[in-house]
Structures are given as C-alpha cells and as structure tokens.
Amino acid sequence: MNQVPALAALAEWLTGHRARVLPADIRHTARRCLVDTLGVMLAGAQQPVAGKVRRIVAGEQGPSRLIGTALHAAPATAALVNGVAAHVLDFDDNCYAGFVHGSAVIVPAALALADAKGARGDALLTAIALGSECQYRLGMALENVLYQRGWWTTGMLGGVGACAAAATLLALDSTQCAHALGIALVSAAGMKAVFGTDSKPLTAGYAAQRGVMAALMAQAGVTGPLNALEHAAGFAALCNQGHWAAEWLRADSRHWCLREPGVDIKRIPLCLSSHAAVDALLFLLQQQPCSLAQIDSVVCDVPEIVRANLVYDLPLNAQQAQFSLPFALAQTLLTGDVQLRHLNDAHLQDERLRLLMQKVRYHSSARWQQADLMRDAPEGAEVTLCLRDGSSRSHFVAKARGAASVPLSDDELGAKFLQCSEPVLGAAPAYHLLNQLWQIDRLAVSQLLLFQETGT
Amino acid sequence: MNQVPALAALAEWLTGHRARVLPADIRHTARRCLVDTLGVMLAGAQQPVAGKVRRIVAGEQGPSRLIGTALHAAPATAALVNGVAAHVLDFDDNCYAGFVHGSAVIVPAALALADAKGARGDALLTAIALGSECQYRLGMALENVLYQRGWWTTGMLGGVGACAAAATLLALDSTQCAHALGIALVSAAGMKAVFGTDSKPLTAGYAAQRGVMAALMAQAGVTGPLNALEHAAGFAALCNQGHWAAEWLRADSRHWCLREPGVDIKRIPLCLSSHAAVDALLFLLQQQPCSLAQIDSVVCDVPEIVRANLVYDLPLNAQQAQFSLPFALAQTLLTGDVQLRHLNDAHLQDERLRLLMQKVRYHSSARWQQADLMRDAPEGAEVTLCLRDGSSRSHFVAKARGAASVPLSDDELGAKFLQCSEPVLGAAPAYHLLNQLWQIDRLAVSQLLLFQETGT
C-alpha cells in the first residue's frame, strides 16, 4: 500500500495540532461546547433513563465522576453514563459536518479521562477541540450519505470523536492514535431504529464509552485496522456506499470544521425544527406586544421537513411536546419563553396552554420549493400573528438563534446553563460552576463542582 | 403494527423454553461448547492481547472471574476480557448458521453473569443452549448475506447470543427480553476489516460485553427498539440488504440449530481449511506407516477457497503457520499431530520441519467445479502421499473431524481441553476441572477451578 491510510493521516493531523497553541476562537468554541454540554448533562442526569444506567454500574468504582451525583466509576463507564445524561433531553448541540450530536459524546469522554488523569482544564479544552475536529472532518468526508442511508450518525461517528479526545489526553503517539481510531471506527454502532426509545441516548453513551476504550486499548498496544475507513470490508464500503472524500482527512488540511460549518447550540429544549418559528414569534411580540385575548391565530409557513418532524398538535407528554409546533408557539405566547420546567406532563394540561395551542396553524407553501431558500433556511419559518381586530403582522426567520451562523452570546449560553443546572445544584453552586467553566483554562478539572452530594 | 416484531417472537420463544426441560442432546451440546470454549479461553488468556485488555480493566472490581487469572471484574467487563481470550487463538467453535464463532461470545457472557449471580451449572448450560439457539436462528434468518457483504458476523450477531444467554440467567420476562435483544442488535458492530489485527478477538469480546450490558439495561427498564430487525432504518435494511426470513424467528419454531447445522469444533489449532487435508494424511499414515526418509512429496487437491485461505508456504511466525497447508501437513508428518505448543516461532525454524514443508504441493483440480462436491465438501481435500520408491497412495476427506456431521468424541474433546489447559493450570488441576465441567449440571459455577493463583 503506497498511500497513507485515511485514519493514519487523521492521526497525524491530530498529534501535529496537539503540540501547537490552538487558535483562540477554536478554544473558545470548545469552552462553549463544554459549558453547554455540562448544563444539559446535569439536567439529563435527573432523567429516569440516566438513573437506570447508573444503577447497572453502581457497584463499580473508579476515578471519574458521574455528573450530577456523588458517584464515581472507571473512565469508560463514566463516559457511558455521562453520555446518556448529555443526550437524553435532546437539548445538546449538533453539527452539520456529519449531521451529528457532537459534544454529547465527545465531552463526556474527554471529561471522564481528564478526571481520571487529574488533567488541567486547558488540556480538557484541547481534547474537546481536537476530538470534535476529528469527528467533524470524518463527517465531512462521509458527506450526508451515512445519515440519509438510515444510520444514526451520532452513534456511528461519535466514537471517533470521543477516541480522538481521549487519545489527546493520553498523549498517544501518531501510530497509537491511528490504531485507536481504527478500533473506534470498526466498533461503531448506531441505527435510526433507536429513535423513540431509550436506546437513542444509550447509543450516545456507548459511543463515548467505546471511544475511551479504543484509546485505552491502543495505549496498551492493541492494534486496530489502520485502513478501517477504506478497507474493502470497512466503514465506507459497508456503511457509506463506498464513498469518502479523502481531502477532509489530509494531515495538512487547514480547514476547521469548528468554524465552518460550526456547531449549532439549542437555545430552547425542543426539536430544532421549531426554533425558527419561535424566534419569529418572539420578534413579533417584542416589536409590538399584545395580550393573549387579542390573538386570533398564529399561522406558520414552514418547510415540509419541519412539518414531518413536528407531528404532535396537542401533545400529551413532555416527549411529544418537544416535537410540537403548537406547543412551542403557545408556550412562547404564554410566558415569553420555553424552558425545561415547561416540559412536564402537568403543565401540558394547563387549560390556557391548550387553548393557545389550538390557535396555531401551519402549512408548507410553494416558496419552499426554491432550492436557494432551502439551502439558506432549511428549517426556516414565516410566522404571521393574526389579531382579533383583523390586523396581522408577519416575520421571516431563516435560521434560529443558536445556529452556528447566528450564535448565542456567551451570556445567553450561561443563562441556558443556569436554567439546566440550578434545579440540580442550587442557584449559588450553579453560578459558581458556570464561572469556573468560563475560566477552566486556569483550573484543574478536579476542582469543578460537578455533583450534588445527595445524588445517586 | 399488526405483526409481532421479530425480536418479540424470538423473545417469546426464549422465555417459553426457559420453563421447559431442554432435550438431553441439546444440553450435551451446550456442555461440549462450554468444555471447548473454556479450554481455548484458558490458553488464549496467556496471549499478549488478552493481557493488554486485562491491564485496562485492572483497577476495576467485581464478582466475575477473569479466566486464567485470579482477577475479578464486573460481569460485562469479564465478558469482554474472557471473550477476547476465547477467540484470540482462533481455536474456538464455529456455526454455519450465520457463519459465526458462536461460543467465544456466548460462553464468556453466560459465565460472567453466572459467576456474578452464584448460579448453578444447570442454569449456565440452559443459558448457553438458549443463547446459542437464539443467535443461530437469527443467523439462519439472515442467511449468508451478512458475511458475504463484508460484515464480521461474530461481532454483528454475537451480542444477540450473549444477550439471550444473559437474559436467561437474569430471568427477564418476555417483554424485557425483547427490549434487551433490540438494544443488543442496534449496538452490534463488526467488520471484516478487523482481520489480521488484535481487533478481531477484541470484537468478539465487545460482542460479549454488549450482550451482557443489553440484558442488564433491559432489566433496569431501559427500552430498545422491538422492531430493530425489520425497522426501515434497522439491522436488516442497513446490513443485510433488507433480507430476513421470518420463519426462523417464529415463537413456535421447533427447529434446533444446535442440531442442524450444529456446531463445528476445531480439532487442531489451525485455519479450518487445513483440517480435511490433515485428516486425510493421518489416515494414510495410519493405514501404512512410513519413515520421513521414504517420503518424496505430499500432493493435495483442494478447493479454491482453501488455497485462498492458506496463503503461507513457508510461515515465519505462529499466526502465519495457522494459515499454511505446508505447515499443517509437515507438522503432522513430524509428530503425528498439530498442537498449540507447535505454534511458536522457534519451532518454525526447526530444519526438519522446514524441509518437510517444502515437500508439500497443492493445487485445485477441475473436480471442485462440481456443485454437489462443493456442497458436501466445501473445504475437502484429496491427499496423495508419494514415496521415493515411486509408489503413492491417496485418500479423500470431505469434512474434517470436528465438523458437526463428523463430531469429535467427548474423549477427543477432553484431550483438546487438556492440551489447552494443562500448560496454564498444571496437569492435575486441568484434569480436575475437566471432570467438573462434564458434571457441571450438579455443581455451582463458583465451584469451578478456573484460575491460576499467580495469574495477572
């Protein structure tokens, strides 16, 4: 074989960058991913499925914290448990490079190993940044084939990101890194069949676990197939119709996927397809406030994909509410925001909320057949607020706030973090942790206040 | 959905049979799989890759023994470590139902949980039998598409067998079993890209680990996709070209794959493709002994697949020797057998052995183009022993001893067990353990002498 295997090239890129100072914006993006993921992980750790997974590993011991509890486990186990917690609320970030939930796999893996090794925060950020970059570059190389074919990309690609982050913290050399990536890639699992079951967050956790294990295995000298991507019975052939674009994995590539396409961070705890409509409605309400009594209807014009994703007109439970445009807009009308605390079954019975949900209508007009609009506004919305006096006003939003091109400010991100973490940690500790996270570069990871003493 | 999901039907079959007394021959097949797998696992545990994997989990504690050592770990971890040990020598059993190494995944999983639960040996045998049967029925349902496509079936199907065995020991109900099987199936991983790397035995270990985890997850209430097999983005669609034959998974099926096609147990520690030729040569030598000096050449007529598998004419290390027809036959001429102790690099330098290897020739004649011959003797051989006096004699073997249709006797299986275990445990403990295994039905699993006190 004359050509360098793709994963060997990626490993060379990875170890090459480890020695350098990462660009400040890349480091800050990693810091933001850490803040966002830890917040949703703390909230997610309170969900039933996270408790079920913890129960299984309860007898184990180890150096890595199970976030939101006082428990510890081995690094790979902590990556599993924390990965489940990070994804269970579906409030974690996404990246168009690979169509993946990225940080929900990468951050738990990096954090678990950083915990175990007593690493400093700057090493954690480097691991998150380089792990993300490796995963997203692989995602770009595979284009969208994987997702469209039916694979759940978060499970399939997440292990590689987690592995690259872990390999960075373990300071594996280039050859070990390549073996680790090979082990991670041929161990990858994830099918969209998991949607609607606990196995969806579980698969994110498994990817984090496998990534950590792959790095530990390679460190111990276990070999993986270096040509796992391009092997005739390897990842591209079996899962991606043989397709992969080599340029994304070149060792000398200067592109940063963390810049372009960047990471999308969710502002509200709902399916991303509802976000642009919520933003459009908020704009209209801020421009010209009105009382609920004045409202006749809220009419949304959205792409077909949004209609296909948001299937619950009158949701009966929190999971359904996450996939309901009427809930998203009615809740916005009711309190001006959508927060985690609104996602509970009792609140969904609120008569005012249910009346407002019935005022929401949506359709998909011919405008969405324009290719350029679908490229610029794939989950966009035009919202028209119709008042009882016969007047109406409309606003169009192409991309919701939180998308990589319309990012949340650090303050908004901090507010989301507090929304997620205050109910778990209490207000003062949550605020203290947020401050720690913004200055993580100067702390040891072990100093982070990540648990509630009473948690199990 | 009107139809019962395939995995729900399989779960119903599984829980239905748990309540019954299994047929005596099925129980004995499970007993033989246990004897065979524990033997190769004890030998495999001494291999470098097994030690590397143990090093990673060394800090963990738990109730399940790491075979061949005095170490313990959590059940899923023990399943991983012991699964690697069971497959690393490639001396473990195979089944044509799915083209899988079956017991190397199922036995470690069952043993780890039986250890943790303090189960009795009869429960262990039931778990191995039903776990095997579930895996092999799924293998039949998927026909050979999976293997031919490039997936490594042992990794892809093994988790289901391990999960079914674990679910049996945990006494999961039918619904929990179905969820467990769903979790196992969507977590499956394995590509033939692992061949030639440590990731091959690692993938067997991972399958055992995932199977145990899936059962524990379902016991804790975690849900999997019940329709993981037939889902539009599920196992059959993504990995098996949409194909699966429902009849194999029907709850009322009376077929036992453990009877037909049955399990192939390797008699000698070499690629199966060399076994028939070795048997043919042994027959000729037993019929009419001759001295090495009398031999001019050994000529083999074998199918193309055998030539494709056995690629090393003058092997330089133990791994190459496992895939070398000249080694297999020269070693047989030299000592009348092929044992694990012959697979070492120093022995391969033996001048007598290397001279004998050069006397072996092989080709693939036109006879192998007959479809019925290839069906009856897919890895058959005709061996001609040519003496210096110009005389020659030939013998044809369709299937090697150890194949399900030409099974090893219990005594032969016991001899293989001792060959594998004596160097690890010592002669008397190995013999004692063998006797324990033959009467495992009447013992507690915890009574088995499975370790060497000094092992690490």
Q: pLDDT for A244-256, tens place per residue?
A: 999 999 999 999 9
Structural domain contains residue B404: no
In 3D, which of B188, B162, B137, B179 has the Cα closest to residue B13?
A: B137
Residue type, B296: D
Residue A412 is predicted with a pLDDT of 97
pLDDT digits (tens, 9 = 90+) for B327-361: 999 999 999 999 999 999 999 999 999 999 999 99
Q: A255 and A113 in one domain?
A: yes
Structural domain contains residue A173: yes
Share of chain A above pLDDT 70, in %: 98
pLDDT digits (tens, 9 = 90+) for B99-154: 999 999 999 999 999 999 999 999 999 999 999 999 999 999 998 899 999 999 99
CA distance A394 to A378: 19
The shortest C-alpha distance from B184 to chain A (Å) reads 10
- B340: which 2 tokens? 């694990």
Instruction: Give A402's contacts (C-beta < 8 A, 6+ positions apart).
Output: A264, A265, A266, A267, A275, A408
Instruction: Give B146's contacts (C-beta < 8 A, 6+ positions apart).
Output: B98, B99, B153, B156, B157, B239, B240
Structural domain contains residue A366: yes
Reply yes or no on whether the pLDDT at B456 is more than 50. no
- Does A191 sit within 8 Å of B189, measured CB to CB? no
Reply yes or no on whether the pLDDT at B372 is more than 80. yes
Q: B241 and B161 in one domain?
A: yes
Structural domain contains residue A446: no
- Does B189 sit within 8 Å of A233, measured CB to CB? no
- Paired with B395 in beta bridges are B383
Structural domain contains residue B353: yes
What SS3 class is residue B448? coil
Specify whether the CB–CB gap between A338 and A268 falls below 8 A. Answer: yes
CA distance A152 to A200: 9
Specify whether the CB–CB gap between B182 and A197 falls below 8 A. Answer: yes
Which DSSP category does A293 fall into? G
| Residue of A47, A54, A56, A115 for testing the chain B interface, max B β-carbons within 10 Å | A56
CA distance A42 to A66: 10
CA distance B233 to A150: 5
Total domains, chain A? 2
Q: A230 and A117 in one domain?
A: yes
| Among B397, B423, B442, residue at a domain's last position | B397
Question: Phi/psi of residue B267, each to 5°?
Answer: -85, -35
Q: A238 and A162 in one domain?
A: yes
- As a whole number of Å, the end-to-end CA separation of chain B is 52
CA distance B95 to A8: 35
Specify whether the CB–CB gap between B292 and B435 falls below 8 A. Answer: no
Instruction: Determine whether B259 is exposed, middle or buried from the number of CB atoms within 10 Å of its CB (0-12, 13-18, 19+).
Output: middle
- A403: which 2 tokens? 């998308």
pLDDT digits (tens, 9 = 90+) for B222-252: 999 999 999 999 999 999 999 999 999 999 9
Query: Structure pTM?
Result: 0.96
Share of chain B above pLDDT 90, in %: 94
Residue corresponding to tokens 């927060």? A339
Structural domain contains residue B405: no
| Residue of B54, B72, B115, B187 for testing the chain A interface, max A β-carbons within 10 Å | B187
Specify whether the CB–CB gap between A10 and A244 falls below 8 A. Answer: no
Question: What is the maximum span of chain A, computed from C-alpha positions, in angstroms?
Answer: 75
Q: Half-sphere exposure of B346 toward its Cβ, with a 13 Å CA cutoff?
A: 1
Specify whether the CB–CB gap between B164 and B130 falls below 8 A. Answer: yes
What is the average pLDDT score of chain B? 95
Using CA atoms, how far residue B184 sits from B157, B206, B223, B356, in Å, is 9, 11, 11, 48
CA distance A84 to A98: 20
In 3D, which of A453, A435, A368, A349 has the Cα closest to residue A38?
A: A435
CA distance B195 to B190: 10
Structural domain contains residue B24: yes
Alpha helices, DSSP H only, in A273-324? 275-287, 304-309, 318-321
Question: Phi/psi of residue A107, each to 5°?
Answer: -65, -45
To the nearest 10°, report the CA torsion of A183, A184, A187, A193: -170
Q: A374 and A281 in one domain?
A: yes
- Does A231 sit within 8 Å of B193, measured CB to CB? yes
pLDDT digits (tens, 9 = 90+) for A145-203: 999 999 999 999 999 999 999 999 999 999 999 999 999 999 999 999 999 899 999 99
In 3D, which of A404, A395, A398, A394 has the Cα closest to residue A370?
A: A398
Residue B1 is predicted with a pLDDT of 43
- A263: which 2 tokens? 């990471």
CA distance A7 to B332: 42
Q: Half-sphere exposure of B429 toward its Cβ, with a 13 Å CA cutoff?
A: 17
pLDDT digits (tens, 9 = 90+) for A221-242: 999 999 999 999 999 999 999 9
B242 interfaces chain A, CB cutoff of 8 Å:
no
CA distance B224 to B212: 14
Task: Report CA B82 to chain centroid distance, whole Å.
Answer: 13
Residue A450 is predicted with a pLDDT of 81
Q: B239 and B380 in one domain?
A: no
Contacts B211 to A, Cβ<8 Å: none
Q: B326 and B279 in one domain?
A: yes
Specify whether the CB–CB gap between B65 and B72 falls below 8 A. Answer: yes
The pairing of beta strand B360-363 with beta strand B295-301: parallel
Q: A330 and A220 in one domain?
A: no
Reply yes or no on whether the pLDDT at B2 is more than 70. no
pLDDT digits (tens, 9 = 90+) for B56-89: 998 888 999 999 999 999 999 999 999 999 999 9
Task: Report CA B18 to chain centroid distance, whole Å.
Answer: 24
Q: A39 and A110 in one domain?
A: yes
Q: B243 and B338 in one domain?
A: no
Residue B414 is predicted with a pLDDT of 98
In 3D, which of B103, B102, B138, B212 has the Cα closest to residue B168?
A: B212
Question: Phi/psi of residue B185, each to 5°?
Answer: -70, -40
Bin B171: left if φ > 0, else alpha if -120 < ψ < 50, else beta.
Answer: left
Cβ atoms within 10 Å of A293's Cβ, excluding its own:
7
Specify whether the CB–CB gap between B137 and B249 falls below 8 A. Answer: yes
Per the omega criterion (within 30 degrees of 0), is the bond before A423 cis?
A: no
Q: B279 and B212 in one domain?
A: no
What CATH number is associated with residue A226? 1.10.4100.10
pLDDT category of residue A1 using cuts at 50, 70 and 90: very low
Q: Which helix (DSSP H) or strand (DSSP E) does residue B231 occupy?
A: none
| Among A354, A381, A397, residue at a domain's last position | A397
Alpha helices, DSSP H only, in B74-152? 75-87, 103-117, 121-141, 145-149
To the nearest 10°, report the CA torsion of A236, A239, A243, A247: -50
| Nearest by CB: A150 against B152, B195, B237 | B237
Interface of B with A in 35-64 (CB under 8 A): 48-49, 52-53, 55-57, 59-62
What is the average pLDDT score of chain A? 95
Average pLDDT over residues A428-446: 95
| Among B382, B397, B412, residue at a domain's last position | B397
Residue corresponding to tokens 């002669």? B427
Residue A454 is predicted with a pLDDT of 45
- A92: which 2 tokens? 């974690």
Structural domain contains residue B455: no
B456 interfaces chain A, CB cutoff of 8 Å:
no
| Nearest by CB: B193 against A189, A203, A225 | A225
Interface of A with B in 127-156 (CB under 8 A): 149-152
Contacts A149 to B, Cβ<8 Å: 238
What stretches of B207-335 adopt beta strand conformation (E)? 263-264, 295-301
Residue of A nearest to B56 (CA): A216
Residue B454 is predicted with a pLDDT of 45
Please give the residue range of the domain that contains residue B97. Answer: 6-265
pLDDT digits (tens, 9 = 90+) for B270-306: 999 999 999 999 999 999 999 999 999 999 999 999 9
Using CA atoms, how far residue B243 sits from B5, B144, B233, in Å, is 15, 10, 13
pLDDT digits (tens, 9 = 90+) for A25-71: 999 999 999 999 999 999 999 999 999 999 999 888 899 999 999 99
pLDDT category of residue A452 using cuts at 50, 70 and 90: low
What CATH number is associated with residue B325? 3.30.1330.120
pLDDT category of residue B455 using cuts at 50, 70 and 90: very low
Residue B452 is predicted with a pLDDT of 60
Average pLDDT over residues A269-294: 96
Q: A235 and A335 in one domain?
A: no
